[in-house]
Structures are given as structure tokens and as C-alpha cells.
């Protein structure tokens, strides 16, 4: 794990994005009726003690984790297909529709991650941060989804301090797209950190392969 100290031509807000493209995978920060459904079920089953407001926040995240642990699911706080099925949430979305929706959802989550972690960095540094997230999804050492990587406990400072929920700017959205389209300025790196403010001793055991802006990238 790495502890970080930093953090289409339609630019949606978080609320607009999720109401237009309700992602099948639900995670911290998304909003919508599907989140209300999850909250309502978990409230009735006494896993959740918050308001049924359709906002996937800390209480919903903790409730989902409790539900997953109780039901032998992967405990990641993310409502993916397996957890949704265990919750009894059916979907009629076609495979083609799901692919398109997930691309939009992944792009926006990646843009939020970039904005929270690297909005003061040069553009190539923004793409590099996104590339690290994507490289992790392809590694057996990390979750295999963007949401799973981003919300892995203690992985990103922007999640811990709430900056993940800021609305990304055009550069962050464009950087997310470039990374999803295959640009990897890091050439396969799995970690990055700011050497001036990093607090994890473990991160210094990583091999540094390049430096972009204030971030060091390594494997």
C-alpha cells in the first residue's frame, strides 16, 4: 500500500453524473435510487443506522462491509454484482448498456481520483496517477476494478480526507480518458508518493523508476 501526502466535453457534477449514468457498481461517493435501495435493505436488516438519502457515504460503506463479512463476500465496501445479488437487487441492464455505463462510471471515478490526488501536478503527472490505478487493476496484488483499487483501505489520501468527492475539472476528466485509452507515462508502475511528505516507511522499499512533478513512481 502507498500512503500519499497529496492528494466529456461535458463536465458533469457528481450528482448529475450519477443520475444520468447510474453505475451498476456502487461505491463511496455515488448517489441515486439504487443507493437508496441498498440503504433501505441494510436498514431493515439492521446493518445500517443512517438516513435513506441515496448518498453512498461512510455509514453506507461500513454497513455494506458488515453485510459482506456476514455473508461470506469479499469485504471491500463496494456493491458489485456479487454483493448486489446477495442483497436481492436484480438488474435488467443489457451487457452492451452495462459496458457503456461502467466506462462512464470508471472514467468519472478515475477523474475524481486524479483531481483529489494530483490536481496541482503537470498534465502528464495527472495521467500517470490514473495509470497507476489502472496498472493495479491488472496486478494480482490488488483488486481488479477501479473502484476496488481506489477504495482499498489506506490506499489513497484523497479517499481518507474526502477530496475524492470534489468535482473534477476538465484536465482531470481528459487525463482519465487518456489513461483509459492506453497512455501510461509510468510504464507499469504500481506506486507513487511525494517524498517530501510521505509518512509510510514501507514505501521507501519500492524501486523508483521515474519522477514527474512532485511525485515519485515505482514498482
In a domain, 8, yes or no: no
Look at residue 100 in the predicted model and tell me its pLDDT. Answer: 54
Q: Are residues 193 and 167 in the same domain?
A: yes
Look at residue 15 in the predicted model and tell me its pLDDT. Answer: 34
pTM of the predicted protein model = 0.64
Look at residue 3 in the predicted model and tell me its pLDDT. Answer: 40
Q: Are residues 73 and 50 in the same domain?
A: yes
Q: Are residues 192 and 107 in the same domain?
A: yes
Query: 88 is written with which cell numbers?
Result: 436481492
Look at residue 16 in the predicted model and tell me its pLDDT. Answer: 34
Q: Are residues 182 and 146 in the same domain?
A: yes
In a domain, 9, yes or no: no
Look at residue 99 in the predicted model and tell me its pLDDT. Answer: 52
What residues make up the domain containing 76? 25-86
In a domain, 149, yes or no: yes
Q: Are residues 201 and 131 in the same domain?
A: yes
Q: Residue ranges of the chain with pLDDT lower than 50?
A: 1-23, 92, 94, 96-98
Q: Are residues 34 and 128 in the same domain?
A: no
Amino acid at each position: 500500500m502507498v500512503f500519499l501526502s497529496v492528494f466529456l466535453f461535458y463536465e458533469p457534477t457528481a450528482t448529475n453524473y450519477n443520475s444520468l449514468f447510474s453505475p451498476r457498481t456502487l461505491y463511496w461517493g455515488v448517489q441515486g435510487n439504487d443507493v437508496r435501495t441498498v440503504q433501505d435493505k441494510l436498514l431493515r436488516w439492521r446493518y445500517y443506522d443512517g438516513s435513506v438519502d441515496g448518498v453512498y457515504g461512510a455509514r453506507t460503506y461500513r454497513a455494506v462491509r458488515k453485510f459482506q463479512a456476514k455473508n461470506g463476500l469479499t469485504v471491500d465496501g463496494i456493491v458489485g454484482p456479487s454483493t448486489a445479488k446477495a442483497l436481492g437487487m436484480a438488474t435488467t441492464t443489457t451487457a452492451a448498456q452495462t459496458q457503456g455505463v461502467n466506462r462512464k462510471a470508471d472514467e468519472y471515478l478515475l477523474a475524481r481520483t486524479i483531481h483529489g490526488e494530483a490536481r496541482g501536478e503537470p498534465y502528464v503527472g495527472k495521467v500517470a496517477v490514473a495509470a497507476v490505478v489502472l496498472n493495479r487493476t491488472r496486478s494480482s496484488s490488488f483488486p481488479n476494478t477501479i473502484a476496488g483499487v481506489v477504495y482499498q483501505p489506506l490506499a489513497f489520501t484523497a479517499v481518507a480526507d474526502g477530496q475524492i468527492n470534489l468535482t473534477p475539472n476538465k484536465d482531470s476528466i481528459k487525463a482519465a480518458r487518456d489513461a483509459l485509452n492506453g497512455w501510461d507515462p509510468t510504464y507499469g508502475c504500481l506506486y507513487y508518493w511525494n517524498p517530501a511528505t510521505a509518512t509510510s516507511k514501507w514505501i521507501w522499499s519500492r524501486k523508483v523508476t521515474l519522477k514527474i512533478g512532485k511525485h515519485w513512481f515505482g514498482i
